[in-house]
Structure 1
Amino acid sequence: MITSYKLRNPLIEQRADPWIYKHTDGFYYFTASVPEYDRLEIRRSETIEGLTSAEPVVVWRKYDTGPMSANIWAPEIHYVQGKWYIYFAAAKTTETVEGLFDHRMFVLECDAENPLEGEWIEKGQLKTDWESFSLDATSFEHNGTQYLVWAQRDPEIPGNSNLYIAAMSNPWTIIGPQVMLTKPEYDWEVIGFLVNEGAAVIKKNGKIFISYSASATDHHYCMGLLSASETADLLDPASWTKSPVPVFQTSEENGQYGPGHNSFTVAEDGVTDLLVFHARSYKEIVGDPLYDPNRHTRVQVLEWNADGTPNFGVPLPDTKEE
């Protein structure tokens, strides 16, 4: 493990919901929400810091009208069974504000070796048990089964979104049952909005951990954690333990506000785990936080406790220019 690993932060400015994936080709692949919410970009580099200056390639743009025409949010790039997939959320252009935030999940596929050069094919909407607000799909494999974890509003449960898990028959199709893992219930999960969203998965020390984000996207935004044994039935809600306190949150002292919507990757040594997240460097926001563009991508080392659980620590201060 790297004992001293420092990165320039923010790593990439005005990129929220950051996702960094290190592939077997040695490259890091990065995608995130852009401030305009109108396109999907990918960039790649052989180093984490190289992503800062790597040229972004637009692989898909929103439609002028219809189901994928507004608020393109939180893309993730995955490599599953020899092909590339991007999961993202999109709303539709309507005459009502509600329509702009009535998101569904969608999937793109690319079979090229380099996803920045290949053609991306729309695989359509990722259907779940309900036609309701849904977003932030992520996917992981465990013991030969591919799983999807995502956020969705249950029409029968008050609030904005809960977290669900299901097995997959292919990278764009879930198979039953659809199981709820967590809903907003603690004080820190219900500030501004009742939200559990932005799940990310890391497997280590005989356990599977799912981090997620909660509350409104201002300085109240923070992260929670679910954990299960690697031998447990992941589709049984009883297999999962939920932290009663946030594991990562605003640091007034370090000038980092609303950290969340994270992903995990590994450092260049292939051993040191890294936490990727967005945060703002100021607390007060004019207007709707979703339209403030300064949620910047940041990366720092993820530590581990003696009991094998992740220690997220606190968001580190911005790097000062020498």
Structure 2
Amino acid sequence: MPHPPQPLIEQRADPWIIKHQGRYYFIASVPTYDRLEIRTADSITELASAPAITVWSKPAQGPLSELIWAPELHHHDGEWFIYFAAAPSRDIVNGLFQHRMYCISTKADDPCKGPWSEPRRIETPLDSFSLDATTFRHADQLYYLWAQKDPKVPGNSNLYLSAMASPDRLSGEPVCLSMPEYEWEKRGFLVNEGPAVITHGQRIFITYSASATDENYCMGLLWADIGSNLLDPRSWQKSATPVLQSDMPHHVFGPGHNSFTVDESGSTDLLVYHARTYTQILGDPLWDPNRHTYVKPIRWDDRGFPDFGHAGSDTLLPRQTPQ
């Protein structure tokens, strides 16, 4: 029986890697959910041993004083932004945590040094549980893509897309792109969350995560033609089956909350995701620290669609430090 593959970075969930001017930056949720930290290195594998530099810590009280989740580091128009979610407490109200979405920014060349701004809330039309925001630019328009609870819709969260007037402000009416409808999106909880965007050929793809954060967690896929109106839900199609799920033979469970980057040559697209190596979790899976970061290459099939393979195969390993 094969052993679980070695993760690239241990105990880092919701991983995000961005390549900027030839250098890699890594940010993720830390097990204590209390801060934002960045690592940087010349290669992806060197991120494993790079020092983690804290750039912001949660205050002792207030709306951002608990559960700092799913940060992403983006660079827009010469300025760095970290988008993340935070809650005023760990209380669950009406079956949900109380997260809202925020960002901090810096004009520094090096995001590890800052200084960073005070957090600003990203306002959406619904004042409800919301998290997992990402941004992307397409056809000269900046977009904001996130997960949120609609009180009128059963379940925990749906996926929404909006144009942005600026990197910290939406414009126009958001549209709902996906909500849990298939059985594999409803295991434990009705969840669509953690979206990520990649463009290939004539299509733009959105991956997302579904179901509870245990071994049922898995990845789904949406796609649209690059020339279509992305704010028209009819432009988007949805896979009826998950595109990455628990890999029982390799002992990699609950893969999801992914991001995308490219290798050092810029020629190979890479999938960045978290997963566990066991299923015996005591209590709520959110308090189990052992969601690890994995990275693996993406194969594009003859139709131009991504083939992510198995969650436990072809993963990149940390670079070994010479003794």
In the alignment, structure 1 residue 177 sits paired with structure 2 residue 135: no
Contact 2:295/2:316 (8 A) holds in 1: no
Match of 2:68 among 68, 72, 77: 72
Higher mean C-alpha deviation, range 178-187 or range 115-124: 115-124
TM-score when normalising by structure 1: 0.94
Residues in 2 aligned to 1:319 and 1:23: alpha-carbon distance in whole angstroms: 20
- How many residues align structurally? 313
**Match for residue 3 of structure 1?**
none
Distance in 2 (alpha carbons) for counterparts of 1:276 and 1:208: 18
1:211 to 207, 210, 217: 207
Tell me, in whole angstroms, the C-alpha distance in 2 between the residues paired with 1:46 and 1:206: 31
Distance 2:128 2:56 in 1: 24
**Contact 2:159–2:176 (CA under 8 A) maintained in structure 1:** yes
Residues 45, 317 of structure 2: 8 Å contact kept: no
Shift of 1:320: 9.5
1:187 pairs with one of 183, 190, 195:
183
- Are the equivalent residues in 1 in contact too, given 2:296–2:316 (CA < 8 A)? no
2:233 aligns with 237
Distance 1:247 1:157 in 2: 25
Secondary structure of the residue that 2:184 maps to in structure 1?
Answer: helix
1:148–1:165: 8 Å Cα contact kept in structure 2?
yes
Three-state SS of the structure 1 residue aligned to 2:93 is: helix
In structure 2, the partner of 1:4 is none
Following superposition, which runs of at least 4 residues in structure 1 exceed 6 angstroms of deviation?
318-322
Query: Alpha-carbon deviation of 1:300?
Result: 0.5
Name the amino acid aligned to 1:19: W
TM-score by length of 2: 0.94
* 2:59 aligned to which of 63, 66, 72: 63
Structure 1 match to 2:127: 131
Q: Provide, for residues 96-139 of structure 1, a one-character-per-residue CA deviation record: whole Å limited to 9, x for no partner.
A: 43398210000110100000011110251100011000000000
Deviation at 1:319, TM superposition (A): 8.3
Deviations 1:192-220 (A, max 9, x none): 11000000000111110000000000000
Confirm whether residue 261 of structure 1 aligns to residue 257 of structure 2: yes
The one of 90, 94, 97 aligned to 2:92: 97
Query: Is the Cα contact below 8 Å between 1:9 and 1:299 reproduced in 2?
Result: no
AA matched with 2:14: D
Counterpart CA distance in 1 for 2:14 and 2:89 is 22
Please report how far the alpha carbon of residue 9 of structure 1 lies from its aligned counterpart in structure 2 after TM superposition. 3.3
Deviation string for 1:41-90 (max 9, x for gaps)? 00100000100000011000011111000000000000011100000000
Report the counterpart of residue 5 of structure 1 in structure 2: none
The amino acid of 1:13's aligned partner reads E
How is 1:3-42 mapped onto 2 (pairs within 5 angstroms)?
A: 9-24=6-21, 26-42=22-38
CA drift of 1:155 comes to 1.2
Look up the SS of the partner of 1:197 in the other structure.
strand
Contact 2:294 2:316 in 1 (8 A): no
- Alpha-carbon distance in structure 1 between the residues aligned to 2:137 and 2:123: 19
1:138-157 → structure 2 map (5 Å cutoff): 138-157=134-153
Equivalent-residue separation in structure 1 for 2:56 and 2:6 (angstroms): 28
Take 2:182 and 2:170, find their aligned partners in 1: how far apart are those partners?
A: 29
- How far apart are the structure 1 equivalents of 2:280 and 2:262? 33
| 2:307 counterpart of 1:303 | no
Equivalent-residue separation in structure 2 for 1:164 and 1:260 (angstroms)? 18
Percent of paired sites with the same residue = 55
* Distance of 1:17 and 1:29 partners within structure 2: 14
Q: Please list every run of 5 or more consecutive structure 2 residues that lacks an aligned counterpart in the other structure.
A: none
Structure 1, gaps ≥5 residues long:
1-7
Match of 1:290 among 286, 289, 292: 286
1:115 paired with 2:111, answer yes
CA distance in 1 between partners of 2:6 and 2:158 (Å): 31
- Residue deviations 1:273-316, cap 9 Å, x none? 10000000011111110000000000001111100010111112
